[in-house]
Amino acid sequence: MRRLLPGTRLVVASHNPGKLREIADLVQPYGLDAVSAGSLGLPEPEETETTFAGNAQLKAVAAATASGLPALSDDSGLEIEALGGRPGIHSARWAGPGRDFSLAMQRVADELETAGAWSGPGPRANFTCALSLAWPDGEAHIFEGKVFGRLVWPPRGDRGFGYDPMFLADGESLTFGEMDPADKHAISHRARAFALFVDACVDGRQP
Ligand code: IMP
């Protein structure tokens, strides 16, 4: 597989500020020069696929072909067992046009209430992250990571982003919203997908 060398300019094909921050933190130790799709004026393609992997690939290929640079994209979301895997690929949409995640978390809590899923130790859920690396000629690869846990209500903590304040990873006592970002990076779905991406595609200094 073609590899990324230190100093390579890499487009981070996301317009989500929380993800951009986390991906920039993950990429930085490898000497890659990360630049966001937004700062290059690249449009945000519509996510028309039905899987995380499909949407990640669509975003990475669009950014790589438009910019002429390798591009890394992330498609991710929260899957809740008692809701049949929802919100899944629609995780961002549950926050509405204003991207209000207190609204999205309230909807999760209400739907779990209706499903009678709050009894017991907390509903099972996982975050999934599909990362795609695409080259300007259209070659693309997918790396997928998951983290499993339970949901809590009310939400706890104001760190992280999205659904972090209501997600408690297995074996942890702090939600992703309460954790130090470095502790989240050590176990998150994004970090797991990122480790697979680094193994396959990145040359350079290990952190
Ligand atoms: P998309 O991949 O841009 O369609 O959006 C994924 C959505 O999933 C985000 O807007 C968040 O709501 C949610 N999500 C993905 N990763 C995380 C995470 O690490 N913490 C909390 N929420 C996340």
CB of 35 within 8 A of CB of 13?
A: no
Q: Which DSSP helix (H) or strand (E) runs through 183?
A: helix 181-187
Ligand 1, residues at Cβ distance < 6 Å: 16, 47, 75-78, 91-92, 127, 160-164, 176, 188, 190
Site to substitute for ligand 1 among 26, 57, 72, 78, most atoms within 8 A of C-beta: 78
Q: Which fold has domain 9-201?
A: Maf protein (3.90.950)
Nearest CA to ligand 1 atom 22: 162
Ranges of the chain with pLDDT below 70 = 204-207
Residues 6 or more apart whose Cβ sits within 8 Å of residue 178? 156, 157, 159, 165
Interval between CA 65 and ligand 1 midpoint (Å): 24
- Supply the pTM of this predicted model: 0.93
Structural domain boundaries of the chain?
9-201
Report the distance separating Cα 185 and Cα 183, nearest Å: 5
What is the reported pLDDT for 205?
54
Residue nearest to atom 12 of ligand 1 (CA): 162
Whole-number average pLDDT of the chain: 94
pLDDT tens-digit readout, 92-145: 999 999 999 999 999 999 999 999 999 889 999 999 999 999 999 999 999 999
Q: Is 89 left (phi over 0), alpha (psi -120 to 50) or beta?
A: alpha
| Cα 76 to middle of ligand 1, angstroms | 5
Residue 166 near residue 180, CB atoms below 8 Å: no
Look at ligand 1, atom 1, and give the residue with the nearest C-alpha.
Answer: 75
Check residue 206 and give its pLDDT.
58
Checking 95-101 for CB contacts under 8 A at 24+ apart, the result is 95/162, 101/161, 101/162, 101/163
Residue 2 is predicted with a pLDDT of 83
Nearest atom of ligand 1 to the alpha carbon of 188: 19
Question: For a substitution probing ligand 1, which of 19, 89, 178 has the most ligand atoms within 8 Å of its CB?
Answer: 19
Q: What is the pLDDT of residue 207?
A: 52
Active site residue ranges: 75
Going by alpha carbons, the residue nearest to atom 2 of ligand 1 is 75
What per-residue confidence (pLDDT) applies to 23?
86
What is residue 14's predicted lDDT score, i.e. its pLDDT? 87
